[in-house]
Amino acid sequence: MKSILKTCTALTMVATFTGQVAAQEMLQTLGAGEGEVSIVAWAGYIERGETDPNYDWVTKFEADTGCKVSVKTANTSDEMVALMNEGGFDLVTASGDASLRLVAGKRVQPINTALIPSWSTIDERLQNAPWHTVDGVHYGTPYVWGANVLMYNTEVFGATPPTSWNVVFEEMNLPDGKSNKGRVQAYDGPIYIADAALYLMAHKPELGITDPYALNEDQYKAALDLLRVQRTLVGRYWHDAYIQMDDFKNEGVVASSSWPFMVNVLVAEGAKVASTFPEEGITGWADTTMLHSEAAHPNCAYMWMEHSLSPKVQGDVSAWFGTVPSVPAACKGNELLTDEGCTMNGYENFDKIRFWRTPTAKCATGECVPYYRWVSDYVGVIGGR
Q: Are 138 and 305 in contact (CB under 8 A)?
A: no
Task: Give the total residue count for the chain.
Answer: 385
Give the torsion sign (CA, 127, 133, 139, 140): negative
pLDDT of residue 364: 83
Give me the mean pLDDT over the 155-164 stretch: 95
Beta carbons within 8 Å of 146's beta carbon, 6+ residues apart: 259, 260, 284, 285, 321, 322, 323, 324, 345, 346
CA 218 to the chain's CA centroid: 27
Give me the mean pLDDT over the 145-156 stretch: 96
Encode pLDDT of 65-107 as tens digits.
999 999 999 988 999 999 999 999 999 999 999 999 999 999 9
What is the rounded CA–CA span in Å between residue 22 and residue 207? 37
pLDDT of residue 7: 42
What is the rounded CA–CA span in Å between residue 73 and residue 91? 12
Band the pLDDT of 177: cuts 50, 70, 90. Answer: very high
pLDDT of residue 45: 95
CA dihedral (240, 242, 248, 254) in degrees, to 10, reads 40
Q: For domain 147-283+359-382, give the CATH number.
A: 3.40.190.10
Give pTM, 2 decimals: 0.84
pLDDT at 3 over 70: no
CB atoms within 10 A of CB 337: 26
Q: Are 185 and 236 in contact (CB under 8 A)?
A: yes
Encode pLDDT of 199-250 as tens digits.
999 999 999 999 999 999 999 999 999 999 999 999 999 999 899 999 999 9
Mean pLDDT of the chain: 92
Beta carbons within 8 Å of 22's beta carbon, 6+ residues apart: none
pLDDT of residue 346: 86
Do 2-143+287-348 and 147-283+359-382 have matching folds? yes
Domain boundaries, the chain: 2-143+287-348, 147-283+359-382
pLDDT at 282 over 70: yes
Give me the mean pLDDT over the 306-316 stretch: 98
- Find, among 167, 170, 329, the residue nearest to 253 by Cα: 167
pLDDT of residue 365: 79
pLDDT at 13 over 70: no
2-143+287-348: CATH architecture: 3-Layer(aba) Sandwich (3.40)
- Find, among 318, 299, 374, 264, the residue nearest to 90 by Cα: 299
% of the chain surpassing 70 pLDDT = 94
pLDDT of residue 24: 60
Q: Residue 221 half-sphere exposure, CB side, CA atoms within 13 Å?
A: 4
pLDDT of residue 15: 40
